[in-house]
């Protein structure tokens, strides 16, 4: 069964539009719109997508076909959700990001790449509620949007890596001129929160590679608190860590790990950031090793029979494949080298990775010695070490790969790589004379955890001990919690004026005097982009602003612009050129705003009051509870209610408790770091931690 849009094109006798996955949405490929998002998305759907012949809950959708390679065509769907007819007209993501005061946009556009297994099926009605999509992004027609989910190879895809998908999403947002895109980073890997691991290792989250920066923290964490917390955690000295763990059971393991990676690194590893950053550059072989264990531990009877049959019929040819092969570890054991064995093994792994990458990209052939040397130099600067290892790599086994060296048709030295099949070739490897010199189980992970055996296991071990469970350091504990409480990040695309014959302005609404009382603090925080020709008049600007606002916001459907504040005494017939600079913000007054509409703010119609002791004054997406007397909302965590506990049926906040009696305690938390820097724990979070803990239940 083919992708549904292909069937639709056949019925319409139209040739489907195909675009390259890695070049799609590059500047000018296939479009180069210069207007605001609300106009650019329409151009995109008209020129880059095919309309489907069905709808999803009444919502129209379009499909764009992206070709990754000859055997992989990826469907990218765009779904237009009209807010006036939507079951969920408000946006929880805007509210949690701090955009709850944005005016409700008329349309939402969902950009979706389904999971691989759903590519050949029509989208289901619940498509917007599925979290297993490879990509799901939402952009309001005012240009503000949210990246809701991204899942690559580790998220279940067989074809697309997370970076590929993220690159595609970033290019789409750029070409469509999206204004701000938020993401809630709750990604994990091997049980580790990546915003903490990458924050310590690189100074930013995984999404920071694409320009996403701190937006807002939960529990009152400010950007200053976040930056300070990252600095505290990443600047830990490795020697100090070893000293602090000296009287604990993890002491020997941590010391061995630090020393192991210091021996491998060509640069000096001083801080925990240096160590994590270096470790994350080394590709882990744990997945392959686990496959080897699974393949050899308890094979089924049918697998055993098939293996014997294959060995019997192809015995000679298969043995010839491994004739004269030696393990690289055996080769270097008999060499008189000035480099330690670990450095030689690491260099060999880098060379193998370069060969594997070349083979996956090209599909055939090998790499010349110079090309391979240049690729390896991206990771190893010691050319003497590389030359020494390359000279010794011929018919050698590194991990589960065989590296061979020979002369190609151009009479140039060339290196190639072959894979060792863990099921078919395991016994054949045992049969070779050189393999018997060192038992095959050496290819499998050692029973006891040894530093360097699995890099990610080492990362997890250091993450759990040096970041989550550092001994007797309240400063590090609070810094870690501050980073974990910072989940919302945003990419802001600054305005860039185009080199064309148009003037661009950002129009912000100022309600008329009769509306001021109701709308004084409820206007959109950012103006709408409007474009007019160079010879446009004041009247043309009013018409353009009116059209843009009506097209974008629900309550502006009948809005009429009556005045532009920035133009002083200019009349409607006066020409704008020279009076305003392109890119300027203008304030417009008018009438016709539907103040009685429920579709006013993205945060919804409920007027919550948030006032928590951590400093939070707005909904940040964390679990909250409301006082049954004053109806003010606070975090359950700040009130001492664990996540695993149910919210009590009746609750009275500390402020209301004072009416029943004096506060029970008054104990601000303080702690001191090793550099005689006295910090207050409340300062880390920007909050007042006076525990007037008269939290109670009405009996």
- Three-class DSSP labels, 550-609: HHHEHHHCCCEEEEEHHHCCCCCCCECECCECCCCEEEEEEECCCCCCCCCECCCCCCCC
- Name which of 16-20, 109-113, 278-282, 384-388 the model is least confident about: 384-388
What integer is the mean pLDDT of 482-494? Answer: 95
What confidence category does residue 468 fall into, taking pLDDT thresholds of 50, 70 and 90? very high
**Domain ranges across the chain:** 4-179, 234-283+449-475, 326-428, 502-591
**Does the pLDDT of residue 635 top 60, yes or no?**
yes
Q: What is the mean pLDDT of residues 22-46?
A: 94
Which candidate, 436, 440, 342, places its Cα nearest to that of 389? 342
Per-residue confidence (pLDDT) for residue 167, from 0 to 100: 96
Please check whether residue 67 is in contact with residue 21, taking contact to mean a CB–CB distance below 8 angstroms. Answer: yes
If one compares 411 and 396, the residue with the highest pLDDT of the two is 396
Averaged confidence pLDDT in the chain: 81
Contact between 537 and 615 under an 8 Å Cβ cutoff? The reply is: no
Query: What percentage of the chain carries pLDDT values higher than 90?
Result: 47
Share of the chain above pLDDT 70, in %: 79
- Tens of pLDDT, residue by residue over 177-210, are 999 999 999 998 888 999 999 999 999 999 999 9
Backbone torsions φ then ψ of 516, nearest 5 degrees: -60, -35
Bridge partners of 69, per DSSP, are 72
Mean pLDDT of 645-652: 87
CA distances from 5 to 8, 18, 49, 581, 607 (A): 5, 11, 10, 46, 44
Helix (H, G, I), strand (E, B) or coil at 369: helix
Strand spans (E) along 515-610 = 528-533, 560-564, 585-591
Residue found under tokens 């990209």: 361
Residue 305 has pLDDT above 50, yes or no: no
pLDDT of residue 23: 93
Average pLDDT over every residue of 512-524: 42
Torsion, CA 240, CA 246, CA 247, CA 250, rounded to 10: 100
**For residue 594, is pLDDT > 70?**
yes
What is the residue whose two structure tokens read 């950002």? Answer: 506
Q: How high is the pLDDT of residue 511?
A: 56
For the whole model, what pTM was predicted? 0.71
Indicate whether 235 pLDDT > 90: yes
Check residue 321 and give its pLDDT.
Answer: 46
- On whether the CB atoms of residues 108 and 114 are closer than 8 A, the answer is no
Does residue 666 surpass a pLDDT of 60? no
pLDDT at 372: 86
pLDDT at 127: 94
The residues, ordered by sequence, that sit 6+ positions from 178 with a Cβ below 8 Å of its Cβ are: 37, 139, 143, 144, 145, 493
pLDDT at 370: 84
19 — phi, psi (to 5°)? -130, 150
| pLDDT digits 0-9 by tens, 431-462 | 444 444 444 344 443 333 578 788 888 999 99
pLDDT tens column, 352-379: 888 888 888 776 678 888 888 888 888 8
**pLDDT band for position 391 (cuts 50, 70, 90):** confident
Residue bearing the bigger pLDDT, 660 or 564: 564
Residue 322 has pLDDT above 50, yes or no: no
Return the minimum-mean-pLDDT range out of 316-320, 490-494, 526-530, 651-655.
Answer: 316-320
Position 310 confidence tier, pLDDT thresholds 50, 70, 90: very low
What whole-number distance in Å separates Cα of residue 177 and Cα of residue 582?
17
With tokens 């350091």, the residue in question is 473
Residues in CB range of 13: below 8 A, 6 or more apart: none
Per the document, the length of the chain is 699
Q: Band the pLDDT of 338: cuts 50, 70, 90.
A: confident
> What is the pLDDT, as a whole number, of residue 664?
53
- pLDDT of residue 3 exceeding 60, the answer is yes
Average pLDDT for residues 508-515, to the nearest whole number?
A: 60
* Residue 663 pLDDT class (50, 70, 90 cuts): low
User: Do 111 and 136 touch, CB atoms closer than 8 A?
Assistant: yes
Q: What angle do CA 17, 20, 26 make, to 5 degrees?
A: 105
User: Across residues 623-635, what is the average pLDDT?
Assistant: 92
pLDDT number for residue 320: 43
Overall fold of domain 326-428? Arc Repressor Mutant, subunit A (1.10.10)
State the pLDDT confidence band at 401, using cuts at 50, 70 and 90.
confident
pLDDT of res. 421: 60
Q: How confident is the model at residue 270 (pLDDT cuts 50, 70, 90)?
A: very high
Beta-bridge partner residues of 407: 413
pLDDT of residue 154: 82
| Average pLDDT score over residue span 383-389 | 82
544 C-beta neighbours (distance < 10 Å), count: 20
User: What is the DSSP pairing of strand 107-113 with strand 72-82?
Assistant: antiparallel
Closest by CA position to 183, among listed 621, 696, 625: 621
- What pLDDT, on a 0 to 100 scale, did the predictor assign at position 674? 36
pLDDT at 526: 67
Residue 326 clears pLDDT 80, i.e. is over it: no
- Give residue 568's pLDDT: 80
pLDDT for the residue numbered 554: 94
Most confidently modeled of 105-114, 319-328, 682-691? 105-114
- pLDDT given for residue 269 in this prediction: 95
Domain 502-591 has CATH 2.40.128.130: no
Taking only the tens place, the pLDDT of each residue in 139-171 is 999 999 999 999 998 888 999 999 999 999 999
Of 170, 180, 141, nearest in space to 41 by CA: 141
């Amino acid at each position: 069964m083919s992708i549904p849009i292909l069937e639709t094109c056949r019925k319409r006798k139209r040739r489907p539009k195909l675009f390259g996955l890695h070049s799609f949405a590059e500047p000018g490929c296939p479009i180069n719109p210069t207007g605001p998002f609300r106009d650019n998305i329409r151009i995109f759907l008209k020129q880059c997508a095919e309309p489907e012949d069905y709808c999803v809950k009444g919502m129209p959708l379009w499909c764009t076909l992206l070709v990754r390679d000859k055997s992989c065509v990826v469907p990218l769907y765009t779904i237009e959700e009209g807010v006036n007819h939507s079951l969920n007209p408000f946006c929880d993501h805007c509210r949690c990001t701090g955009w709850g005061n944005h005016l409700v946009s008329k349309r939402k556009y969902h950009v979706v790449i389904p999971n691989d297994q759903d590519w050949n099926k029509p989208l289901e009605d619940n498509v917007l509620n599925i979290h297993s999509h490879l990509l799901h992004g939402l952009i309001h027609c005012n240009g503000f949007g949210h990246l809701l989910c991204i899942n690559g190879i580790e998220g279940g895809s067989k074809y697309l890596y997370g970076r590929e998908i993220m690159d595609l999403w970033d290019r789409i947002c750029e070409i469509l001129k999206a204004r701000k895109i938020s993401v809630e980073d709750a990604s994990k890997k091997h049980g580790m929160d990546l915003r903490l691991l990458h924050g310590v290792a690189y100074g930013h989250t995984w999404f920071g590679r694409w320009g996403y920066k701190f937006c807002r923290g939960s529990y009152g964490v400010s950007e200053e608190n976040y930056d300070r917390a990252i600095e505290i955690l990443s600047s830990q000295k490795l020697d100090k860590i070893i000293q602090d763990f000296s009287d604990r059971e993890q002491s020997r393991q941590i010391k061995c790990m630090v020393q192991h990676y210091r021996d491998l690194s060509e640069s000096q590893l001083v801080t925990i950031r240096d160590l994590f950053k270096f470790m994350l550059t080394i590709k882990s072989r744990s997945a392959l090793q686990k496959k080897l264990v699974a393949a050899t531990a308890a094979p089924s009877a049918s697998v055993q029979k098939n293996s014997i049959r294959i060995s019997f019929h192809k015995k000679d040819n298969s043995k010839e494949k491994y004739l004269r092969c030696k393990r690289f570890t055996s080769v270097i054991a008999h060499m008189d080298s000035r480099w330690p064995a670990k450095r030689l093994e690491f260099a060999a792994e880098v060379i193998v990775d370069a060969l594997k990458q070349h083979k996956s990209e090209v599909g055939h052939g090998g790499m010349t010695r110079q090309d391979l040397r240049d690729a390896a130099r991206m990771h190893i600067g010691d050319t003497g070490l590389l030359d020494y290892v390359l000279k010794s790599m011929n018919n050698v086994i590194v991990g589960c790969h065989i590296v061979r060296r020979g002369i190609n048709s151009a009479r140039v030295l060339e290196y190639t790589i072959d894979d060792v099949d863990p099921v078919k070739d395991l016994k054949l490897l045992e049969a070779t004379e050189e393999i018997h010199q060192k038992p095959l189980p050496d290819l499998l992970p050692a029973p006891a955890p040894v530093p360097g055996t699995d890099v990610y296991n080492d990362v997890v071990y250091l993450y759990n001990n040096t970041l989550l469970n550092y001994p007797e350091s309240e400063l590090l504990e609070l810094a870690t919690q501050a980073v974990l409480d910072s989940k919302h990040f945003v990419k802001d695309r600054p305005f860039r004026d185009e080199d064309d014959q148009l003037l661009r302005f950002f129009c912000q609404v100022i309600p008329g005097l009769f509306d001021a009382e109701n709308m004084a603090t409820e206007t959109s925080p950012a103006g709408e982009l409007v474009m007019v020709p160079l010879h446009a008049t004041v009247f043309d600007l009013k018409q353009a602003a009116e059209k843009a606002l009506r097209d974008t916001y629900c309550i502006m459907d009948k809005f009429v612009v009556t005045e532009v504040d920035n133009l002083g005494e200019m009349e409607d017939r006066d020409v704008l050129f020279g009076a305003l600079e392109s890119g300027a913000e203008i304030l417009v007054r008018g009438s016709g705003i539907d103040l009685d509409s429920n579709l006013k703010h993205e945060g919804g119609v409920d007027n919550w009051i948030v006032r928590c002791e951590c400093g939070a004054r707005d909904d940040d997406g964390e679990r909250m509870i409301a006082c049954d007397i004053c109806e003010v909302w606070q975090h359950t965590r700040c009130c001492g209610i664990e996540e695993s506990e149910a919210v009590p049926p009746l609750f009275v906040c500390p402020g209301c408790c004072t009416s029943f009696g004096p506060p029970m305690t008054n104990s601000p938390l303080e702690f001191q770091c090793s550099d005689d820097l006295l910090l207050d724990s409340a300062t880390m979070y920007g909050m007042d931690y006076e525990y007037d803990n008269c939290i109670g239940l009405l009996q």
